[in-house]
Amino acid sequence: MKVMKFGGTSVADARTIATVADIIIKASRTDKVLVVLSAMRGNTDLLIQAAKFAEAGDDKYKGLVQDLYRRNETAINDLFKNAEKRSMMLDYVSTSCAELASFLHGLELIRECSTRSLDLVVSFGERMNCLLMARYLLSMDIEAEVVDTRGLILTDDTFGNARVAFSETYTALRERIVAIKGIPVITGFIGATAEGITTTLGRNGSDYSASIVGAALDCSVIEIWTDVDGVLSADPRLVPKAFVIPEISFQEAMELSYFGAKVIHPYTMIPAVDRNIPVLIKNTFKPEAPGTIIRKVIQPHDRAITGIASIGGVAIVNVVGGGMIGVPGIASKVFTAMAKSGINIIMISQASSEHSICLVLKEAEAAKARTVLRVELAQEIAGKMIQDVDVIANLEIIAVIGENMRGRRGLAGKVFSALGDGDVNVLAIAQGSSELNISFVIQANDTRKAINLIHASFIT
């Protein structure tokens, strides 16, 4: 049994829906297949935008709901040759769009869209797409059934980024899916609380849904089908010479995705590692390409680094002051204050002189972090132990990743001299004790240059 997950990049219109259906049907001839599907390309963004309009009292959301209807209508008219089946599908889409519009109208009236409401709005994307795919398979006499993961993927109520209750989820998914005779077409991205309130697993979360399903059903492989040939050595939009990595460890994949390689959601590896199930990344538009296999143990290779990834839109918050030297407890105060305010720290670096503590976080949270820290450290600031809390914006974190970096001397030196030769200024550096990752912060407008310099000096 295997999971096949198709992302928005794979499902955009009638032609691509037919391509995906073809891949599913072929695979189902030799294996039991569980399909996990995202929303059609762009529809999650469209739904978020519609909710924002409604919240602002702007009736442009109505136009977006119409766009959503028309996209579905065009695909349905192309895909369903039988008039009766076509009209049933169109009825379904128009009922869903009416339901969505009336919900958005509610948001318009109250001029408010909580993360809880937003999760319900975006869930339409996955639900509508799954029904379309399942009905299309049925129209070709392939038995298929939609599985709505609300009520199966059970989560807490952290709307927009919900946490999964694994053991209940595994049981519920197993019970529901083993009972299905045909091909289950399972909604990615969405879940629900124990009370049945819709939640989502975070943007790009369908990859995570796929691995949850794979672990629950003890599948032999979790396949993630997308629009590139596999995990590449760097983001192909930034590095034209990036190439496919045939095999990569769970740990490396986790680090790459955590540091921005969008091809796979970082949490995807958690259930896969737990049950030791390999994850295979494949290209929907080039199914003959071997793809990238992500597994626990990989064949030895001699590349010094495996890949480079980056996170944009970050800022440095620097707590600076000579008076911190040798004084215990300041770092703890800083981190506690961030945790209490719900601010996520992406990277930390502290010079060994202890003269400054440097936090790297999302730029959107930097001003709040500074305000919180100024209050929290008011005594230290008044006592001149700390000079101030500075913010530097417009930055990017670059991470150089690879199992082979462990214990390899001179590697960091080589990374930074490549950057120095290219005149790229480095503002902060961190290396995890696993030595699997060196990350550093640069000005955002140096990103393309920096990644290409490192790529050229290590892996071309």
Binding site for ligand ASP (CB under 6 A): 7-8, 38-39, 44, 125, 188-189, 203-206
Residue 7 found at the interface with Mg ion (CB under 5 A) = yes
Return d(Cα 207, Cα 143) in angstroms, integer: 24
Q: Which is nearer to ligand ADP, 263 or 273 (CB)?
A: 263
Which residues, including other chains, have CB under 8 Å from residue 235's CB and lie 6 or more apart?
A: 242, 260, 261, 262, 309, 310, 451
Pick from 63, 440, 65, 1: nearest CA to 219? 1
Query: Is the Cβ of residue 7 or residue 125 nearer to ligand ADP in the bound state?
Result: 7
What DSSP string describes 179-222? T-SSEEEEESSEEE-TT--EEE--TTTHHHHHHHHHHHTT-SEE
The 208-227 site mask, x for binding ligand ADP (CB under 6 A), equals ------------------xx
Which residue's CB atom is positioned nearest to Mg ion? 204
C-alpha–C-alpha distance, residues 305 and 297, integer Å: 16
In the structure encoding, which two tokens stand for residue 300, read together?
A: 């030895």
The least distance separating Mg ion from the CB of residue 447, rounded to whole angstroms, comes to: 21
Return the number of the residue (169 or 226) whose C-beta is nearest ligand ASP. Answer: 226
7 binds ligand ADP (CB under 6 A): yes
Beta strands in 14-142 (DSSP E): 33-37
Tell the residue number behind the tokens 């943007």, with chain if given: 203
Interacting partner of 44 out of ligand ADP, ligand ASP, Mg ion, none (Cβ under 5 to 8 A depending on kind): ligand ASP
List 155's β-bridge partners, or say none: 164
Single residue of 228, 248, 359, 454 touching ligand ADP by CB under 6 A: 228
Positions in 386-425 near ligand ADP (CB under 6 A): none
- Least distance (Å) between residue 190 CB and ligand ASP: 9
Say how many residues make up the chain: 460
Q: What is the closest distance, in whole angstroms, from the C-beta atom of residue 233 to ligand ADP in the complex?
A: 7
Residue 7 vs 266, nearer CB to ligand ASP? 7
Binding mask 260-299 for ligand ADP (x = CB under 6 A): -xxx------------------------------------
> x/- contact string, 26-65, with ligand ADP (CB under 6 A)?
------------x---------------------------
Asked if residue 235 binds ligand ADP (CB under 6 A), the reply is yes
How many helices (H) and strands (E) the chain has is answered by 14, 16
What is the amino acid identity at position 138?
L
Sign of CA dihedral 193, 196, 200, 206: positive
Q: Which is nearer to Mg ion, 117 or 204 (CB)?
A: 204
Residue nearest to ligand ADP (CB): 7
Site of tokens 């990644």: 451
> Which of residues 262 and 275 has its CB atom nearest to ligand ADP in the complex?
262
Q: Which does 189 bind (CB under 5 to 8 A by kind): ligand ASP, Mg ion, ligand ADP, none?
A: ligand ASP
205 binds, among Mg ion, ligand ASP, ligand ADP, none (CB under 5 to 8 A by kind): ligand ASP
Query: Which of 454, 384, 379 minimizes the C-alpha distance to 424?
Result: 454
Residue 353, Cβ neighbours under 10 Å: how many? 9
User: Does 211 participate in binding Mg ion (rule CB under 5 A)?
Assistant: no
Residues 6+ apart with CB under 8 A from 128: 39, 40, 43, 68, 72, 93, 96
236 makes contact with ligand ADP (CB under 6 A): yes
The answer to the question of residue 249 lying near ligand ADP (CB under 6 A) is no
Write down the least CB distance from residue 262 to ligand ADP, Å: 4
Are the beta carbons of 252 and 308 closer than 8 angstroms?
A: no
Phi/psi at 33 (5° precision) = -115, 135
Q: Are 286 and 238 in contact (CB under 8 A)?
A: no
Q: Which of 15, 9, 27, 11 is nearest to 287 (CA)?
A: 27
Nearest to 23 by CA among 8, 14, 13, 33: 33
User: Minimum CB separation from ligand ASP for residue 327, in Å?
Assistant: 44
Residues in a beta bridge with 347: 360
User: Based on CB atoms, which residue is closest to ligand ASP, 189 or 267?
Assistant: 189
Mapped onto helix, strand or coil, the DSSP state of residue 247 is: strand
Provide the minimum distance between the beta carbon of 188 and ligand ASP in the complex, in angstroms, as a whole number: 5
230 lies in the site for Mg ion, by CB under 5 A: no
Chain contacts with Mg ion (rule: CB under 5 A):
7, 204
Chain contacts with ligand ADP (rule: CB under 6 A):
7-10, 38, 204, 226-228, 231-232, 234-237, 261-263, 307
